[in-house]
Amino acid sequence: MHIAVQQADPWQTATPLLVVCSWQAQALPEAVLSLVEFGDFSGKKDESVLLYPRGTLPCRRLLLLGMGEYDLTNADTLRRSAARAMRRARALKVDDFTLLLPMNERVSFTDAAQVTAEGLELGAYRYLEHKSTLKPEEQQRIEHMTLLVEHPITSAEVQASVASGQAIARGVMRARNLANAPGNVLTPTRLGEVAQEIGAQGGIATTVLGLDDLKAQGFGGLLAVGQGSAEPPCFIIMEYGQPGPDRPTICLVGKGITFDTGGVSMKAAANMDDMKMDMGGAAAVLGTMQAVAELGLPLHVVALISAAENMVSGRAYKPGDIITTLSGKTIEVLNTDAEGRIVLADALYYAQRYQPAALIDVATLTGAIIVALGKHAMGLMSNHQPLAERLLRAGEASADRAWQLPLWDAYREEMKSKIADLRNITGTRYAGSITAAAFLENFVGNAAWAHLDIAGVAWVEEPTRDDQVRGATGAGVRLLLQALHDWQAASEQ
Ligand code: BES
Ligand code: ZN
Ligand code: ZN
């Protein structure tokens, strides 16, 4: 979508639809004042009024959106209302509209422009890839809109923030498209091809290791999980930028299980189809890489993705199997459904060769994280508190929230096996997300590492935000981009 930035008086602007976000007790212009005086609109949250002000204002339609209390507004309020504006505009079947950039002292001009652009793009998102015919309302698309700024500010700055917001949203939408794609379409091989496409577009050096490479190099974890499938596993390596004195290396690792049947320890039939999203971590990493390149962040970012399909067959790995991972450490497999940690073991170990300043993995790893945090925050576990806090802050700032859980020695003990170095599950269901993280930690060496368990937030059945629809959310992309942005700002100081 093209977003034009213009400085003008909204009440003098001719447009098919003018959307104005209004806070409680905020003054509105004379033309619509009776609305407030009669008590029909007060700017409360979720309130809205559509007017047809023929003869009084140059706009054909005027939509007032209630924003709630001024003092409770933050960047995410603006992101959500922009998404709401986009949806209302689309439902009104206009092909162009104007939104007055809402200004609030609590959010800077540039942040407001960025999150508004994010909301506009994400509010328009739908996944219609596999519909052979589209209903008229599904065909409705807004290709162009105008963001009005009232105050004389440098519109170049606003324009740049809008462009950043759009790049971030495209990263989120890339992740959504990947996680929404069905398992028969998005195989590990196809995931590798998409990485190559993103790499070619963004000037990111991309390599995909195929079955023979994995065997030659000893990716025992990834090979074991992938061996039951007719679709071969692969390992994706993307390298953006070069390391340097002011350019710390950040490694992003993604779980790319393109479908998780659970393997021989098979999952129940109900909702098993949702397990096409078990590459949500890989999707978040790929969406982030795409946006990092579009934004041109001056960092060295390496993405590593273990991609496989967890299937059942005569060749599948089994409970009781002992496998030797890339690191040389052995794992006793006690449940083939705890496969994510096994493929991540190889990727985390591989990451050590880059000597990263931070190693961050993103994975739809455990159902237990949904029990712990529900659908409103991802779980964060780390061996390095400054890194954990950096990510928690980035999550708050980008409304892509994370909440930290502890990693204590007692949990580490639970992952030890009697007959191998590690076992892939404990004997209980207690603290399932933490014990999974304690398992992963064995493969990170002395890197500063953080693990993001996005199993709860990567997918929504019943969206509660206007910038989400049923299906994949692209969780993790905004948090990672915010963290990388802050990193760059800090290393430039
Ligand atoms: N992919 C699942 C985790 C998951 C659950 C993702 C729900 C998204 C939504 C993972 O591979 C898994 O099956 N984990 C097991 C681990 C258990 C066997 C220790 C789980 O969470 O039940
Ligand atoms: Zn599983
Ligand atoms: Zn899984």
Q: Given pLDDT bands bounded at 50, 70 and 90, which one contains residue 413?
A: very high
Is 154 a residue whose pLDDT tops 80? Answer: no
CA 278 to ligand 3 centroid distance, Å: 5
pLDDT tens for 342-360 read 999 999 999 999 999 999 9
* Per-residue pLDDT at 84: 98
Mean pLDDT of 94-117: 95
pLDDT tens for 278-308 read 999 999 999 999 999 999 999 999 999 999 9
Alpha carbons within 13 A on the beta-carbon side of 229: 27
**Ligand 1 close to Cβ of residue 455 (< 6 A):** yes
Q: Given pLDDT bands bounded at 50, 70 and 90, which one contains residue 491?
A: confident
CA 367 to ligand 1 centroid distance, Å: 5
**Catalytic residues, which ones?**
267, 341
d(CA 367, CA 369): 5
* Per-residue pLDDT at 155: 76
Type of residue at 463: P
Mutate to test the pocket of ligand 1, among 261, 365, 440, 452 (most ligand atoms within 8 A of CB): 365
Type of residue at 315: R
**Ligand 1 close to Cβ of residue 338 (< 6 A):** yes
Residue nearest to ligand 1 atom 18, measured at CA? 338
Mutate to test the pocket of ligand 1, among 366, 370, 430, 434 (most ligand atoms within 8 A of CB): 366
**Ligand 1 close to Cβ of residue 335 (< 6 A):** yes
CA 340 to ligand 2 centroid distance, Å: 6
Mean pLDDT of 193-217: 98
**Ligand 1 close to Cβ of residue 340 (< 6 A):** yes
* Per-residue pLDDT at 489: 85
Share of the chain above pLDDT 90, in %: 92
pLDDT tens for 383-409 read 999 999 999 999 999 999 999 999 999
d(CA 166, CA 431): 38
Mean pLDDT of 405-431: 96
**Ligand 1 close to Cβ of residue 278 (< 6 A):** yes
**Ligand 1 close to Cβ of residue 336 (< 6 A):** no
Q: Given pLDDT bands bounded at 50, 70 and 90, which one contains residue 140?
A: very high
CA 265 to ligand 3 centroid distance, Å: 12
pTM across the whole model: 0.98
* Per-residue pLDDT at 153: 66
Q: Which of 460, 433, 466 is nearest to 277 (CA)?
A: 460
Dihedral sign, Cα of residue 273, residue 232, residue 308, residue 297:
negative
